[in-house]
């Protein structure tokens, strides 16, 4: 029998996970969701074939596994509100940026299994990547379930130290947004040179997808893959020299540091608040 899964908060990230689970064969009848905005419920139910509730307690009470998918600043009040229906045998999986296992365990009151995750929205198309860390109440079989659930919409890595989740967020959770921004800029630059939007979108997107697939499918050194494209005094060299001169390395390093720092701040704001 498949486990019943509840999603508390069904926005962008929960939708990506539910979409990924459904596409990989999870039955809509085994998934429920809850969110305060009833206006969205019909659309969500039709999109995913799941049942939505207004009261989080109604979703949580019937679940074996509860995904916590509200914004970090709402999580404490949301969890404390449904804490009365939490059972010892439930597994909670948080996707909230920055929120630590210790804070979650305290808000849930009962000594339950909790996994903190940092997924990303490519889950929606089966290309998600997630960082995971579990508390000491989580059994090996619960960890295995979580790993295979996250693999159903992509892949996962376990980290050993909770602090490493900040880096996971910087390199993975938030990172699709950096690449969307790079694509937006490339497309605009292509349009400025006279190609239409659709053509620019196709060219730039396939370049990004192809580069990522080369790295994931081949075991080659990334710098070597770059050198393979870079003819001496050729077109690629001209572009790369410009990127270096304009500071691509300090730019991306600073962005990744800012992301990890913000993740850490969120954790500190909500730790045992
Ligand atoms: N988006 C991303 O790429 C990623 C997000 N995350 C994490 O996922 C979590 C959700 O982010 P995201 O999906 O982007 O945010 P969204 O705002 O898209 O989703 C949050 C959802 O929670 C609902 N909600 C608000 N209050 C309540 C409540 N009291 N009870 C139940 N549901 C409620 C919101 O409803 P309404 O819209 O009506 O207010 C909304 O549907 C965050 O903690 C974030 O850190 C993690 C990795 C990546
Ligand atoms: O921006 C955020 O806070 C969330 C967490 C990772 C991606 N989006």
Q: Which pLDDT tens digit goes with each residue over 181-234?
A: 999 999 999 999 999 999 999 999 999 999 999 999 998 999 999 999 999 999
Where are the chain's structural domains? 5-161, 175-263
- Ligand 1 binding pocket includes 122 (Cβ within 6 Å): no
Report whether 270 contacts 76 (CB < 8 A): yes
- Ligand 1 binding pocket includes 13 (Cβ within 6 Å): yes
Report d(CA 4, CA 1) in Å as an integer. Answer: 9
Asked whether residue 148 carries a pLDDT value surpassing 80, the answer given is yes
Strand arrangement, sheet containing 128-134:
51-53, 31-34, 5-8, 65-68, 91-94, 113-118, 128-134, 154-158
pTM listed for this prediction: 0.94
**Ligand 1: residue whose CA is nearest its atom 5:** 13
The region, left, alpha or beta by phi > 0 then psi within -120 to 50, assigned to residue 68 is beta
Report whether 173 contacts 121 (CB < 8 A): no
Q: Calculate the CA 132 to chain-centre distance.
A: 11
Q: What is the pLDDT of residues 245-260, one digit of tens each?
A: 999 999 999 999 999 9
How many whole angstroms from 97 Cα to the centroid of ligand 2? 6
Distances 41 to 10, 33, 34, 164, 255 between C-alpha atoms, Å: 9, 9, 8, 35, 36
Q: What percent of the chain has pLDDT over 70?
A: 99
pLDDT range class, residue 26, cuts 50, 70, 90: very high
Q: What percent of the chain has pLDDT over 90?
A: 93
**Ligand 1: residue whose CA is nearest its atom 23:** 9
Which ligand 2 atom minimizes the distance to the CA of 96?
Answer: 5
* Class of 175-263 in CATH: mainly alpha
As a CATH number, domain 5-161 is: 3.40.50.720
Report whether 178 contacts 255 (CB < 8 A): yes
Locate all alpha helices (DSSP H) within the chain, ordered by sequence: 12-23, 41-48, 56-61, 72-82, 101-108, 140-151, 164-168, 175-192, 197-217, 222-229, 235-245, 248-270
Which ligand 2 atom minimizes the distance to the CA of 263?
Answer: 3
Averaged pLDDT, 49-62: 97
pLDDT at residue 159 in the model? 97
**Ligand 1: residue whose CA is nearest its atom 40:** 11
How many whole angstroms from 190 Cα to the centroid of ligand 1? 34
Which residue shows structure tokens 């229906």? Answer: 85
């Amino acid at each position: 029998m498949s486990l019943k899964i509840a999603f508390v908060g069904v926005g962008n990230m929960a939708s990506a996970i539910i979409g990924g689970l459904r596409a990989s064969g999870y039955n809509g009848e085994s998934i429920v969701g809850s969110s305060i905005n009833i206006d969205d419920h019909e659309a969500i139910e039709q999109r995913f074939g799941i049942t939505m509730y207004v009261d989080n307690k109604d979703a949580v009470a019937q679940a074996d596994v509860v995904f916590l998918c509200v914004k970090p600043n709402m999580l404490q009040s949301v969890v404390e509100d449904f804490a009365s229906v939490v059972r010892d045998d439930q597994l909670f999986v948080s996707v909230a940026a920055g929120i630590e296992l210790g804070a979650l365990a305290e808000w849930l009151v009962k000594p339950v299994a909790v996994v903190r995750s940092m997924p990303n929205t490519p889950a929606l198309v089966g290309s998600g990547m997630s960082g995971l860390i579990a508390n000491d109440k989580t059994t090996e079989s619960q960890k295995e379930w979580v790993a295979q659930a996250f693999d159903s919409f992509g892949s996962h890595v376990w980290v050993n130290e909770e602090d490493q989740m900040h880096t996971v967020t910087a390199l993975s959770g938030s990172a699709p947004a950096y690449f969307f921004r790079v694509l937006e800029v490339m497309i605009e630059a292509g349009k400025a040179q006279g190609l239409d939007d659709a053509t620019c979108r196709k060219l730039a997107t396939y370049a990004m997808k192809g580069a990522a697939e080369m790295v994931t499918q081949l075991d080659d050194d990334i710098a070597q893959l770059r050198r393979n494209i870079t003819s001496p005094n050729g077109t690629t060299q001209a572009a790369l020299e410009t990127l270096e001169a304009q500071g691509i390395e300090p730019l991306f390093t600073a962005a990744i540091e800012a992301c990890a720092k913000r993740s850490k701040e969120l954790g500190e704001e909500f730790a045992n608040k």
